[in-house]
Amino acid sequence: MSAAEWRNAMNAGSGRLAMGKVLVLPPQEKTESWTRKNPIRARHVLVLGFLLAFPMYATPFLTYQIGAQSLALGLIALSLTFLGGYGGMVSLAQMTVAGVAGYMLAVFGASGEAALSLGWSWWIAVPIAIVIATLVGTAIGWLSVRTEGIYTIMITLAVGVAFYYLCLQNYSVLNGFQGFQRVYAPTVLGINLREPVPFYFLVLACALGGYFLAKYILRAPFGIAMQGIRDNPRRMNALGFHVMAHRVAAYAVAGLIAAVGGVLFTWYNGLVTPGSVGTSWLINILVIAVLGGMRHPIGPFIGAIVFVLLQTFAIDLIDRERFNLVIGGVFLAIVLFSPDGLLGLWAALKSRFPSGSKFLTPRGGIR
């Protein structure tokens, strides 16, 4: 369109001509819309089919160590994507929330430390653990929403480190350095959830639940308000939104997701110790979320798969003491080439091959 055409269109007062020619652009997945249609596509069916069929073909080792672990870690990282990618609040304390859930599960439920654990049934201990961890997540949010950017990272890191030392030094409730061993998944309706395949399906069900919950909330008024607050908190205030309250509520939702992930990760490990909530794990969750990409709720799960694969098999490529170098190198390479993580790489590849014009459909809105 020439400058003259543009000027004429503008002076005519409508701008329709101008808009009609420039508006066919790729959708930006990082922002959800109130009612954007997301029809079920072949790739969705394929992914779900693969996830359901995976234990049928994979060895128990792959099912448990790779599949279940990735999904549990992905769920915890999803809570960070929800906060960071959509709310603009990068919290390093999401593993702390997951750790609180794990510790509470061990304290109220059964563990190898019979003197400290109350030994209550799983159906009492699990809800209590999730509620307490969600409350802790909300409290961390209440503490940190007054800060932004690097200060949020610092304050949540401080909370995480403080909890780590609390776990390390408190012997009367948290059993200090030893933590709690033998915190196992229960047997429900005759199904032993400790077995790789049942445990995989349990984690898969929770991961799908978390994924769809996040997707749903992000398109609900609350989620759109969250994204508005991420982009421009001052403007949201000037629209009548209580920005701080919204942010605390977002921490509560993220806390719930992290708490469920924490229970599953504790069952996966069969233990919870100060090492489970140490600084390296706080950072690992951030690495997983960034590695996958924070522009879509699927990102943390992709990041978790890559992270777990590297963590499990890097040792075959390089010396035991140096396998972290491989993880760090891959992380560095992905972030360098694509700031949006693996999802960003995928989007870049798709834009190179736009022949399937689905990618060029305009975005939806309220219809």
Partner 1 sequence: MATVAGPAQRELLSTGDALRLEGVSRSFGALKAVENFSFSVAAGERRAVIGANGAGKTTLFNVITGDYAATSGRVRFFGEDVTAHPPYERIRAGMRRTYQSSLLFRDLTVRDNLFLAVRGVARGRFSFLHPGRASTTRAAAEGLLERVRLTHVGDEPVAMLSHGQQRQLEIGMALAGAPRLILFDEPAAGLSPAERRELVVLLNALPKHMSFILIEHDLEIALRVVDRVTVMHNGRMLKEGTPAEIENDPEVQEIYMGQAGHA
Shortest Å distance, C-beta 365 to partner 1: 4
Taking the C-alpha atoms of residue 201 and residue 205, their distance in angstroms, rounded to an integer, is: 6
Binding segment for partner 1 (CB under 8 A), chosen from 29-37, 127-135, 139-147, 318-326, is 29-37
CA angle, residues 253, 289, 276, in degrees to nearest 5: 80
Q: What is the DSSP letter of 364?
A: -
Quick one: 321 exposed, middle or buried, by C-beta within 10 A (0-12, 13-18, 19+)? exposed
Binding segment for partner 1 (CB under 8 A), chosen from 55-63, 231-239, 254-262, 309-317, is 231-239
CA angle, residues 167, 171, 177, in degrees to nearest 5: 55
Residue 243 makes contact with partner 1 by CB under 8 A:
yes
Residue 209 makes contact with partner 1 by CB under 8 A:
no
Quickly tell me which residue has 């020439």 as its tokens.
Answer: 2
Binding segment for partner 1 (CB under 8 A), chosen from 21-29, 96-104, 162-170, 277-285, is 21-29
Quickly tell me which residue has 């140490």 as its tokens.
Answer: 278
Binding segment for partner 1 (CB under 8 A), chosen from 18-26, 94-102, 152-160, 162-170, is 18-26
Write each residue from 249 to 268 as x if it is in contact with partner 1 (CB under 8 A), else as -, in one continuous string.
Answer: x-------------------
Shortest Å distance, C-beta 362 to partner 1: 6
Taking the C-alpha atoms of residue 71 and residue 247, their distance in angstroms, rounded to an integer, is: 26
Q: Which of 75, 236, 308, 334 binds partner 1 (CB under 8 A)?
A: 236
Taking the C-alpha atoms of residue 344 and residue 334, their distance in angstroms, rounded to an integer, is: 9
Q: Which is nearer to partner 1, 13 or 190 (CB)?
A: 13
Residue 366 makes contact with partner 1 by CB under 8 A:
yes
Q: Which is nearer to partner 1, 12 or 173 (CB)?
A: 12
Q: Which is nearer to partner 1, 22 or 188 (CB)?
A: 22
Question: Tokens representing 278?
Answer: 């140490």
Which parts of 151-190 interact with partner 1 (CB under 8 A)? none
Shortest Å distance, C-beta 232 to partner 1: 6
Answer yes or no: are the C-beta atoms of 63 and 197 closer than 8 Å.
yes
Closest CA to 31 of 192, 227, 196: 227
Residue 240 makes contact with partner 1 by CB under 8 A:
yes
Size of the site for partner 1 (CB under 8 A): 50
Taking the C-alpha atoms of residue 303 and residue 344, their distance in angstroms, rounded to an integer, is: 12
Binding segment for partner 1 (CB under 8 A), chosen from 11-19, 90-98, 199-207, 256-264, is 11-19
75: amino acid identity, one letter: L
Residue 23 makes contact with partner 1 by CB under 8 A:
yes
Residue 34 makes contact with partner 1 by CB under 8 A:
yes
Answer yes or no: are the C-beta atoms of 156 and 254 closer than 8 Å.
no
Q: Which is nearer to partner 1, 13 or 39 (CB)?
A: 13
Answer yes or no: are the C-beta atoms of 203 and 268 closer than 8 Å.
yes
Shortest Å distance, C-beta 58 to partner 1: 36
Q: Kindly write down the DSSP assignment for every residue of 84-102, as one continuous string.
A: HHHHS---TTHHHHHHHHH
Q: Which is nearer to partner 1, 354 or 362 (CB)?
A: 362
Q: Which is nearer to partner 1, 110 or 247 (CB)?
A: 247
Quick one: 247 exposed, middle or buried, by C-beta within 10 A (0-12, 13-18, 19+)? buried
Parallel, antiparallel or unpaired: strands 191-192 and 187-188: antiparallel
Residue 318 phi, psi dihedral angles, 5° rounding: -145, 165
Residue 365 makes contact with partner 1 by CB under 8 A:
yes
Q: Which residues bind partner 1 (CB under 8 A)?
A: 7, 10-16, 18-19, 22-23, 25, 28, 30-31, 33-35, 216-217, 219-222, 224-225, 227-228, 231-232, 234-243, 245-246, 249, 362-367
